[in-house]
Structure 1
Amino acid sequence: MILLAIAVCEIAFWVAIVAGLAARYLFRAPRTGAALLVLAPVIDGVLLVLVAVDLLGGGTASWQHGLAALYIGISIAYGKRMVAWADARFAHRFANGPAPARLNGRAYTAKCWGDVLRTGAAAAIAAGILGGLILLVGDSSRTDALLPFFRILAVVFGIDFVWALSYTIWPKKASAEQPTPAS
């Protein structure tokens, strides 16, 4: 059931974003667009409630519950940036906005380090949710499946850190057809 809830919430997240941007740019209804965009974090709350209700109802935690915690952490930490990414492309395509910039050099490296901070926040949020679920259930035999996710969070953060470090040492070069933005 939780895997289905994750899938439905992910689809609902993107439907809310696309509907919000369509309302903003295609239908010239910025208030409606903003209201639809606000639904994205509400969807994360719905998933969290579903996971908690499942476990409090006597369910045994599985990898799916851990995946839900990861999804919520990533969605909260990266949600604003995902919306901004989609907004820039929507504005360019439907409202004659500027083309999204392709970063390189210092600007790309700075973006990578910003991602490290966001990934750290996502890991902290997911770890908090996992810890909260473990405390809420209060029965280690029913929550043992959540423990490996703490290691997964550390590995994901480590990979993102190494990624940013690599671009600090070897900055991304501009392609031949792409002008270099001011750093």
Structure 2
Amino acid sequence: MKRLGIALLMATPIVDVLLLIATVMDLQRGATASLVHGIAAIYIGASIAYGHQMIAWADRYFLYWFKGGENPRSRKVYGSEHASRERGGWYRHLLAWCIGSLFLLAMIWWIGDAERTAAFFNLIRVWGIILGIDFIISFSYTLWPRKVPVKKMK
């Protein structure tokens, strides 16, 4: 089973590159950039930033569902530990945005037609707004930590 996991993990970058090549080829043939083309860059950024974490999550749940392993649900965390996890999640999101945006900018440069690639600029902008909202939420826990819930007695 471990070999299958390693093989799938090694295949991920190959799938990423094939997706990017297919996207660039379609754009070079004269297609106007759309959200569908941009999703390729988002996928690559997310798979690089979150890839190992997603594979580890899938492995834990596979072991739980099919091999009788321990329940992978993580315990709820509060206070500074929760704030730290939230910040870490935002840093991964920032990494995904940087990688995805670099791919989008590279495709804009490669195609060399601002009209045909306008959707990519819009995608970078909207994703940047989402990243900003995520920043506010994630870092708010640093200022106002999540408190342990108080259990009511009946």
When normalised by structure 1's length, the TM-score is 0.72
1:64-110 Cα offsets, whole Å, 9 max, x none, are 22222222212221111111112222223333433222231133221
Q: Distance in 2 between matches of 1:87 and 1:172?
A: 29
**Change in 2 beyond 3 A, CA 1:165/1:148:** same
1:68-107 equivalences in 2 (<5 Å): 68-100=40-72, 101-105=74-78, 106-107=80-81
1:39-118 equivalences in 2 (<5 Å): 39-100=11-72, 101-105=74-78, 106-118=80-92
Is 1:134 matched up with 2:134? no
Q: Distance in 2 between matches of 1:166 and 1:144?
A: 33
Q: Distance in 2 between matches of 1:109 and 1:94?
A: 33
Q: Among the aligned pairs, what percent are the same residue?
A: 40
**Change in 2 beyond 3 A, CA 1:90/1:32:** closer
What code does the residue aligned with 1:38 have? M
1:7-48 Cα offsets, whole Å, 9 max, x none, are xxxxxxxxxxxxxxxxx2xxxxx2233112322232222111
What code does the residue aligned with 1:167 have? Y
Q: Distance in 2 between matches of 1:32 and 1:81?
A: 17
Shift of 1:117: 0.8
Aligned length: 149
Which segments of 5 or more consecutive residues in structure 2 lack a partner in the other structure?
Answer: none
Is 1:119 matched up with 2:87? no
Q: Could you tell me whether the CA contact under 8 Å between 1:104 and 1:173 is conserved in 2?
A: no
Alignment match of 1:169 (pick from 139, 143, 146): 143
Is 1:38 matched up with 2:10? yes
Structure 1 vs Structure 2 CA RMSD? 2.1
Q: Distance in 2 between matches of 1:132 and 1:82?
A: 26
**Change in 2 beyond 3 A, CA 1:33/1:75:** closer
Structure 2 residue matching 1:166: 3-state secondary structure: helix
When normalised by structure 2's length, the TM-score is 0.84
What code does the residue aligned with 1:62 have? S
